[in-house]
Amino acid sequence: MKRVGIVGCGGIAQVHASVLKQLERTKLCAFADCEGRKAKELADMYGEEGAGAYESLEEMLTKESPDVVHICTPHYLHVPMAAECLKRGCSVFMEKPPAISMEQLALLERAVEESGLALGICLQNRYNRSTLKLDEILQKGSLGKILGARAFVTWNRGEAYYTESGWRGTWDKEGGGALINQAIHTLDIVLRWLGEPIKVKASMHNHHLKDIVQVEDTVEAFLEFEGNRRAVLFATTAYTADPDALIELACERGSVRLEGERVWLRYYDGVEEEYHLSGQESLGKSYWGTGHEACIADFYRCLEEKRRYGNDLSSVKNTFKVMTTIYKEALREWNR
């Protein structure tokens, strides 16, 4: 049984708390938020009897010595908080992104290595049933080699999303916009199958909330891989609705498209297959996907069985590196 704490008791923490409350392997014993009231509210709603509520991570670590801390704070705090937990002998399950710069990522890598403890990252879309179905289809090999991919994320984040948070929409605290916060999941799934690009070209814009948001609300990227394979990604938070992200892989003998919980296969000889993978519910907003429960449960299964967790830091490094390269490329034009 693991004693677990959560730091950052805002939107996503509710999802972590509701999963942890149900798991047999965890006791949700402590909550911390700089707005103490939020920690207290979450403790009352999801905590074990007598669960502590604190105003800082440090106080929670000192008073409760949890085995694991879930980091659900703004992006810029992920690395310092994870490093503090690891230093104090506490494993970490952290929300994406793992960092906001390559320098921060290197600090995190060192902290993990020095501690010898587990660190898991919440890229829960890897656990969506549709993603697993896509993996199964591609592993089967009937589509032949993957030649390329296209991906679209077109979502709506309005003024209140930024003004109510105090950290979103800023370079120093969020580290970017549509890419680092929303499209990172989709980029991660594309790279899962295409690997490391040899060339990255990108541009970005802030079309919609220029006076409120410093960062990009729209980004497009062109990625080239060995063997003349190519991927294009378009992501925006300036749309008016939140349709499922779309990922399509073009292969030698057909294509496969993933959209939410649906997967379509189209062979070029005319044969088509379609899968509706319903049955898993999203615990939070529908666009967060359905994978949180499986993603968190697997982390604890791996901890208990002392196995390597699939969403560890090394598994997200390529996605993170490509994401920072996209920003670097796009910033050339942005600064003009």
Does 32 bind ligand NAD (CB under 6 A)? Our answer is: yes
Nearer to ligand NAD, 181 or 237 (CB): 181
Site string for ligand NAD, 181-200 (x = CB under 6 A): x-------------------
Distances (CA, A) of 244 to 102, 194, 267, 304, 327: 29, 21, 23, 34, 24
Does 215 bind ligand NAD (CB under 6 A)? Our answer is: no
Which residue is associated with the tokens 């440090």?
58
- Of positions 26, 104, 115, 124, contacts ligand NAD by CB under 6 A: 124
Taking a C-beta distance cutoff of 8 angstroms, is the pair 208, 238 a contact?
Answer: yes
Taking a C-beta distance cutoff of 8 angstroms, is the pair 49, 24 a contact?
Answer: no
Does 331 bind ligand NAD (CB under 6 A)? Our answer is: no
- Of positions 5, 68, 73, 191, contacts ligand NAD by CB under 6 A: 73
Does 323 bind ligand NAD (CB under 6 A)? Our answer is: no
- We find the least distance from the C-beta atom of residue 286 to ligand NAD, in angstroms, to be 11
- Of positions 51, 72, 179, 263, contacts ligand NAD by CB under 6 A: 72
Taking a C-beta distance cutoff of 8 angstroms, is the pair 74, 180 a contact?
Answer: no
Does 33 bind ligand NAD (CB under 6 A)? Our answer is: yes
- We find the least distance from the C-beta atom of residue 306 to ligand NAD, in angstroms, to be 26
* Whole-angstrom Cα Rg for the chain: 20
Count the Cβ atoms, other than its own, within 10 Å of residue 269.
7
Q: Mention every residue, 6+ apart, whose C-beta is less than 8 A from residue 57.
A: 7, 32, 69, 81, 84, 85
Does 9 bind ligand NAD (CB under 6 A)? Our answer is: yes
- We find the least distance from the C-beta atom of residue 26 to ligand NAD, in angstroms, to be 18
Taking a C-beta distance cutoff of 8 angstroms, is the pair 95, 118 a contact?
Answer: no
- We find the least distance from the C-beta atom of residue 243 to ligand NAD, in angstroms, to be 16
Angle at 316 between CA 312 and CA 322, to 5 degrees: 170
Does 17 bind ligand NAD (CB under 6 A)? Our answer is: no
**CA 241 to CA 237: how far, in whole Å?**
9
- Of positions 3, 18, 34, 109, contacts ligand NAD by CB under 6 A: 34
Taking a C-beta distance cutoff of 8 angstroms, is the pair 66, 5 a contact?
Answer: yes
Residue whose CB is nearest to ligand NAD in the complex, by number: 10
How many residues are listed for the chain in this entry?
Answer: 336
Helix (H, G, I), strand (E, B) or coil at 71: strand
Site string for ligand NAD, 85-114 (x = CB under 6 A): ----------xx------------------
- Of positions 12, 147, 233, 303, contacts ligand NAD by CB under 6 A: 12
Contacts to ligand NAD by CB under 6 A: 7-13, 32-35, 38, 56-57, 72-75, 77, 95-96, 122, 124, 165, 181, 288
